């Protein structure tokens, strides 16, 4: 197993290119199941999660060719396919559940292993299955698998009111509805940029979708979809993560491909903390306004609110702020596991339920720490960049799921960082 070793210090200066979005690519890839024609994704990120999705789709019968070092995924899925998503693959990555809607839409049947819980929360699929049931699917949980069957072999349009703006449920239902008989309306839908990216791609494939990016999405079902080529949208979470590097260490860094519209609520908090973000012709430039970071309160919310996937990274910054910040995690019930690791580095954090109170300290101290999940792992690297001495982050396989070339990208702006074999 590998670890990443960081020598604290700063400032950081230069440019960091931002890749295509993991969470967009993971929902775009299953869309290949909706057509007999090829779907090609460009600007795809090179991540272990993308490899897992490739493995899953290939197990269902898709042909996938990865080109240009993985930045292009050419996929096609024609003829009869396998409709069973095996536990052995699904347990590696929850987003595997995004094949449920497309399989049901294409074949009228699907058997998808239930992913089970994960480090950050229980993460049930009731909103997905309740929505598909309204579309005429009969779904039964048996032997750990969701066994789903569309009445009459084809899903039908329905009006679906989500109790919560779930990202995954919006994606699954939207894909399922593209081939359903009639019109589907999703109310209280998720509004994340990854949803809009999926809708753009599906429209290129011939789907009729309106309202993506708002809380109400309307999908007019069609009989078949064609192929397309689609560039994956920029990864706003990778973007936000690297915006925090000059914020926590000082210096000036340009994030190539960054867009303000992807990180609006996040930038408001950076501004309040004393960080300047300006648009350039290549992306976003980030630097501190003064020497100190100001304390700010943060509450995670569905888009366009503050993203839960940047909460851990923001906590690392606020550990060095002047004053006390209150972070409220409203999306997942167990997403503060980075706090005890940051406390090992000298941070002052008090966690009570979904609230963490962070009292800034003058300087964090380097220490051996352990990654517990994807975003927690990168928050420890950010903290290590600002700490005195050496920080060794172990279990970085978590990191590989969502960040490509971390060492190369941070070294490129002057960080002292290396990957070591344990
Ligand atoms: C997506 O997960 C992202 N993953 C997550 O990113 C992200 O944290 C999350 O959206 C929220 O923004 C991918 O896109 C692959 P949800 P998803 O359905 O779709 C509850 C990362 O770090 N819920 O919006 O699983 C659920 O338990 C990952 O890249 C139900 O109760 O998120 C959670 O508390 C982590 N029933 C909340 O809603 C359901 O049927 C949000 O879940 C579905 C969800």
**Which of 397, 251, 240 has its CA nearest to residue 315?**
240
Q: Which of 167, 329, 398 for a ligand 1 pocket mutation test, highest count of atoms within 8 Å of Cβ?
A: 167
For the Cβ of 331 lying below 6 angstroms from any atom of ligand 1, the answer is yes
Give the predicted TM-score (pTM) of the model: 0.97
Decide: 367 and 391 in contact? Cβ < 8 Å.
yes
Pairing of strands 63-67, 72-76: antiparallel
For the Cβ of 240 lying below 6 angstroms from any atom of ligand 1, the answer is no
Q: What are phi and psi of 362, to 5 degrees?
A: -60, -45
Estimate the crossing angle of helix 236-249 against helix 264-273, to 10 degrees: 10
> For residue 95, how far is its CA from the centre of ligand 1 (angstroms)?
9
d(CA 375, CA 312): 6
For the Cβ of 191 lying below 6 angstroms from any atom of ligand 1, the answer is no
Which ligand 1 atom is at minimum distance from the Cα of 401? 29
For the Cβ of 397 lying below 6 angstroms from any atom of ligand 1, the answer is no
Decide: 254 and 245 in contact? Cβ < 8 Å.
no
d(CA 66, CA 249): 37
Encoded tokens for 312: 């851990």
For the Cβ of 270 lying below 6 angstroms from any atom of ligand 1, the answer is no
Residue nearest to atom 35 of ligand 1 (CA): 309
Which ligand 1 atom is at minimum distance from the Cα of 23? 14
Pairing of strands 298-299, 283-288: unpaired
Say how many CA atoms lie within 13 Å of 132 toward its Cβ.
35
CA dihedral 53, 59, 62, 65 (to 10 degrees): 60
> For residue 127, how far is its CA from the centre of ligand 1 (angstroms)?
11
pLDDT tens for the 422 residues of the chain, in order: 899 999 998 899 999 999 999 999 999 999 999 999 999 999 999 999 999 999 999 999 999 988 777 778 888 898 889 999 999 999 999 999 999 999 999 999 999 999 977 888 888 999 999 999 999 999 999 999 999 999 999 999 999 999 999 999 999 999 999 999 999 999 999 999 999 999 999 999 999 999 999 999 999 999 999 999 999 999 999 999 999 999 999 999 999 999 999 999 999 999 999 999 999 999 999 999 998 999 999 999 999 999 999 999 999 999 999 999 999 999 999 999 999 999 999 999 999 999 999 999 999 999 999 999 999 999 999 999 999 999 999 999 999 999 999 999 999 999 999 999 98
Residue nearest to atom 3 of ligand 1 (CA): 23
d(CA 95, CA 167): 11
d(CA 245, CA 264): 18
- Burial code (b: 16+ CB inside 10 Å, e: under 16) for 259-288 equals beebbebbbebbeebbbbbeeeeebbbbbb
Which ligand 1 atom is at minimum distance from the Cα of 374? 22
For the Cβ of 132 lying below 6 angstroms from any atom of ligand 1, the answer is no
Q: How many CB atoms lie within 10 A of CB 419?
A: 14
> For residue 268, how far is its CA from the centre of ligand 1 (angstroms)?
23
């Amino acid at each position: 197993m590998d670890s990443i070793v960081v020598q604290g210090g700063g400032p950081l200066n230069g440019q960091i290119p931002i890749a295509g979005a993991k969470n967009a690519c993971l929902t775009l890839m299953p869309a290949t199941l909706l057509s007999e024609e090829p779907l090609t994704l460009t600007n795809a990120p090179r991540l272990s999660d993308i490899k897992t999705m490739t493995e899953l789709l290939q197990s269902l019968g898709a042909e996938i060719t990865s080109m240009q070092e993985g930045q292009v995924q050419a996929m096609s899925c024609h003829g009869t396919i396998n409709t069973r998503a095996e536990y052995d693959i699904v347990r590696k990555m929850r987003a595997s559940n995004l094949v449920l809607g497309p399989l049901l839409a294409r074949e009228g049947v699907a058997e998808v292993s239930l992913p089970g819980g994960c480090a950050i929360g229980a993460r049930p699929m009731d909103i997905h299955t309740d929505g598909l049931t309204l579309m005429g699917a009969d779904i039964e949980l048996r032997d750990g698998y969701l066994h789903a069957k569309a009445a009459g072999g084809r899903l039908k349009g329905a009006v679906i009111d989500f109790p919560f703006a779930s990202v995954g449920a919006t994606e699954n239902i939207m894909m399922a509805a593209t081939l359903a008989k009639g019109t589907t309306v999703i109310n209280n839908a998720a509004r994340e940029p990854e949803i809009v990216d999926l809708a753009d791609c599906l429209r290129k494939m011939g789907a009729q979708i309106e309202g993506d990016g708002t809380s109400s999405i309307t999908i007019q079902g069609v009989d078949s979809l064609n192929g397309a080529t689609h560039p994956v949208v920029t990864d706003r979470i990778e973007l936000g993560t690297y915006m925090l590097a000059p914020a926590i260490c000082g210096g000036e860094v340009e994030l190539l491909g960054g867009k303000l519209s992807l990180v609006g609520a996040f930038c408001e908090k950076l501004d309040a903390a004393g960080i300047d973000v300006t648009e350039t012709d290549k992306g976003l430039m980030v630097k501190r306004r003064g020497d100190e970071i100001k304390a700010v309160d943060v509450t995670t919310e569905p888009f366009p609110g503050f993203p839960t996937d940047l909460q851990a990274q923001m906590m690392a910054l606020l550990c060095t702020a002047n004053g006390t910040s209150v972070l409220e995690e409203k999306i997942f019930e167990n997403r503060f596991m980075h706090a005890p690791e940051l406390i090992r580095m000298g941070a002052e954090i008090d966690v009570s339920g979904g609230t963490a109170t962070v009292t800034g300290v003058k300087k964090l101290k380097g220490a051996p720490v352990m990654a517990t999940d994807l975003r927690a792992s990168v928050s420890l690297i950010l903290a290590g960049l600002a700490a005195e001495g050496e920080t060794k982050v172990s279990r970085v396989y978590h990191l590989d799921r969502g960040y490509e070339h971390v060492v190369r990208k941070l070294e490129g702006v002057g960080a002292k960082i290396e990957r070591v074999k344990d």
